[in-house]
Amino acid sequence: MKLLLVEDNAELAHWIVNLLRSENFAVDCAPDGESADAMLGTQHYDVVLLDMRLPRMSGKDVLARLRRRGNNVPVLMLTAHGSVDDKVDCFSAGADDYVVKPFDARELVARIKALIRRQAGGKSTALTCGDLQYNTDTREFRHHDVPLALRRREHAILETLMLKQGKTVTKAALMESVYSLEDEPSPDAIDIYIHRLRKHLSASTAQIMTLRGLGYILREKDAP
């Protein structure tokens, strides 16, 4: 899953980016409102973390433009004040949640996961494909109740395939879920990650199939 962080405090932004990447999220970062607005017009994100007060365009204005374009991506506002007025401003602008600075790392991650779960329509936190289990709360894969030791990009690809289980996912969509804007995307690397994931799943009844010219699909072996 890919997140956009919009924060003008470089030190805080660096800390949040490292925190989220350690949680297996791909993260893009924008230092001001205009940059964020441009990125939101061209990139897909699963959650946006948006500071209320930004240079060049306020977070409230960024959010208003986003909603006018019909983009309903979950938005978590970062605000320096916990006043009632600030909270009202966040929600009236179209935010889904907010967190007051300074915040605890665990609270931030928990709120992000709650937004992702809400976006999924409140589905069960446990997803399965054959004997492969995925917990949307902990974002952990398990096979026969044993955690799969996946690298960050392997995790991102398998997560995308699991969330779209039974549907074809293009290589371009997998690249978008794996790479941030500061990375150098490599279509060939996706094939390598898929190869590694198939090794992880060799003893599982879940399998990743290649649909030549179309993409990849995760489904149970022998499923129609």
Confidence of residue 136 (pLDDT cuts 50, 70, 90): confident
CA distances from 154 to 70, 130, 193 (A): 31, 19, 6
Question: Which residues fall within 8 angstroms of residue 70, CB to CB, at 6 or more apart?
Answer: none
Predicted confidence at residue 120, as pLDDT, reads 65
Q: 169-182 in b/e burial notation, b at 16+ Cβ within 10 A?
A: bebebbbbbbbbee
Contact 134, 182 (CB under 8 A): no
SS3 label, residue 94:
coil
Q: What is the pLDDT, as a whole number, of residue 124?
A: 59
Q: Are residues 52 and 95 in the same domain?
A: yes
pLDDT band at 63 (very low <50, low <70, confident <90, very high): very high
Q: Summarize pLDDT for 193-212 with one digit per residue, the tens.
A: 999 999 999 999 999 999 98
Tens of pLDDT along 67-113?
A: 999 999 999 999 887 778 878 888 888 899 999 988 999 999 999 98
Q: Do residues 38 and 21 share a domain? A: yes
Q: Is 184 in a helix, a strand, or coil?
A: coil
Indicate if 158 and 83 belong to the same structural domain: no
Q: Domain span at residue 215?
A: 126-220
- Number of compact structural domains in the chain: 2
158-187 pLDDT tens trace: 999 998 888 999 999 999 888 888 888 888
Contacts of 207 (CB under 8 A, 6+ apart): 130, 198, 201, 218, 219, 220, 221
Predicted confidence (pLDDT) at residue 223 exceeds the cutoff of 60? no
Find the CATH number of the domain harbouring 79.
Answer: 3.40.50.2300
**Mean local confidence (pLDDT), 124-130:** 83
Residues 42 and 102 both lie in one domain: yes
- Asked if 7 and 113 sit in the same domain, the reply is yes
122 has a pLDDT exceeding 70: no
Residues 57 and 78 reside in one and the same domain: yes
* Domain stops at, among 88, 119, 150: 119
Report the candidate in 57, 50, 66, 54 with the shortest Cα–Cα distance to residue 16: 50
- Given a contact cutoff of 8 angstroms between Cβ atoms, the answer to whether 163 and 146 are in contact is no
Task: Give the CA count within 13 Å in the CB-facing half-sphere of 25.
Answer: 23
**Host H or E run for residue 92:** helix 84-92
Q: What is the pTM of this model?
A: 0.81
Of 119, 150, 165, the last residue of a domain is 119
Confidence of residue 40 (pLDDT cuts 50, 70, 90): very high
Question: Can you read off the two tokens belonging to residue 58?
Answer: 């306020």
In a shared domain, residues 112 and 196? no
Q: How far apart are CA 159 and CA 163, in angstroms?
A: 6
Q: Retrieve residue 177's tokens.
A: 């879920």
Last residue of a domain, one of 119, 150, 178: 119
Cα Rg of the chain, angstroms: 18
Give phi and psi for 51, each to the nearest 5. Answer: -70, 140
pLDDT attached to residue 186: 86
